Amino acid sequence: MMLVNKIRVKESRLKKDQCDLARFGREENGGLMRPALSAVDREARRWFKDRMREAGLHVREDEAANLIGRLNPTQGPSDEPCVATGSHIDAVPHGGKFDGALGICAGLEVIRAIQESGIPIPCPIELLVFTDEEGGHFAGTFGSRAMFNLLSEGEIHRSKSDGQPSLAEDLRRAGKDPKLISQAVRSPAEFRAFLELHIEQGPLLDTMGVPVGIVEGIVGIDRYFIQVKGRPGHAGTIPMHLRDDALVKAARIITAVNDALLAAGSDIVGTIGEMKVYPGAFNIIPGIVDMYLDLRSRNESARLSMRNILQKIIDSVENARIELILSKPGVTMNPTIMQAIMESCEEQGTPFQRIFSGAGHDAMTFATLGIPTGMIFIPCLEGKSHCPEEDIHFEDAAVGTQILADTMMRIAASSL
* Inter-residue contact 180 to 368 (CB < 8 Å): no
Residue 140 engages ligand GLV in binding (rule: CB under 6 A): yes
> Shortest distance, CB of residue 6 to ligand GLV, whole angstroms?
35
* Inter-residue contact 243 to 231 (CB < 8 Å): yes
Within 316-335, the residues that bind ligand GLV by CB under 6 A are none
Q: Which is nearer to ligand GLV, 112 or 361 (CB)?
A: 361
Q: Which is nearer to ligand GLV, 140 or 220 (CB)?
A: 140
Residue 100 engages Mn ion in binding (rule: CB under 5 A): yes
Strand partners for 129: 67, 87
- Binding mask 116-135 toward ligand GLV (x if CB under 6 A, else -) reads ------------------x-
Give 263: exposed, middle or buried? Use CB within 10 Å, 0-12, 13-18, 19+. exposed
# residues contacting Mn ion (CB under 5 A)? 2
> Shortest distance, CB of residue 117 to ligand GLV, whole angstroms?
33
Q: Which is nearer to ligand GLV, 35 or 140 (CB)?
A: 140
> Shortest distance, CB of residue 140 to ligand GLV, whole angstroms?
6
Q: Which is nearer to ligand GLV, 64 or 405 (CB)?
A: 64
Within 321-340, the residues that bind Mn ion by CB under 5 A are none
How many other β-carbons are positioned within 10 Å of the β-carbon of residue 94?
14
CA–CA separation, 161 and 277 (whole Å): 10
Give 8: exposed, middle or buried? Use CB within 10 Å, 0-12, 13-18, 19+. exposed
List the one residue out of 211, 189, 149, 192 whose CA is nearest residue 365: 149
Among 17, 41, 90, 99, binds Mn ion (CB under 5 A): 99
> Shortest distance, CB of residue 383 to ligand GLV, whole angstroms?
14
Q: Which does 110 bind (CB under 5 to 8 A by kind): Mn ion, ligand GLV, none?
A: none
> Shortest distance, CB of residue 96 to ligand GLV, whole angstroms?
10
Q: Which is nearer to Mn ion, 100 or 202 (CB)?
A: 100
> Shortest distance, CB of residue 177 to ligand GLV, whole angstroms?
28
Handedness of CA 385, 149, 143, 276 (dihedral sign): negative
Q: Residue 244: phi, psi to the nearest 5? A: -125, 90
Q: Which is nearer to ligand GLV, 202 or 287 (CB)?
A: 202
> Shortest distance, CB of residue 243 to ligand GLV, whole angstroms?
35
* Inter-residue contact 65 to 131 (CB < 8 Å): yes
Q: Which does 103 bind (CB under 5 to 8 A by kind): ligand GLV, Mn ion, none?
A: none
Residue 360 engages ligand GLV in binding (rule: CB under 6 A): yes
Q: Which is nearer to ligand GLV, 206 or 222 (CB)?
A: 222
Helix 11-21 vs helix 101-117: angle between axes, to the nearest 10 degrees?
A: 140
Q: Which does 360 bind (CB under 5 to 8 A by kind): ligand GLV, Mn ion, none?
A: ligand GLV
> Shortest distance, CB of residue 121 to ligand GLV, whole angstroms?
31
Give 156: exposed, middle or buried? Use CB within 10 Å, 0-12, 13-18, 19+. buried
Q: Which is nearer to ligand GLV, 107 or 286 (CB)?
A: 107
> Shortest distance, CB of residue 92 to ligand GLV, whole angstroms?
7
CA–CA separation, 9 and 108 (whole Å): 10
279 preceded by a cis bond (ω within 30 of 0): yes
Which secondary-structure segment (H or E) carries 123?
none
Q: Which does 232 bind (CB under 5 to 8 A by kind): ligand GLV, Mn ion, none?
A: none
CA–CA separation, 340 and 121 (whole Å): 17
- What is 61-92 written as a DSSP string? E-TT--EEEEE--SSS-S-SPEEEEEEE----
Residue 359 engages ligand GLV in binding (rule: CB under 6 A): yes
The residues of the shown chain that bind ligand GLV, judged by CB under 6 A, are 134, 140, 359-360
The residues of the shown chain that bind Mn ion, judged by CB under 5 A, are 99-100
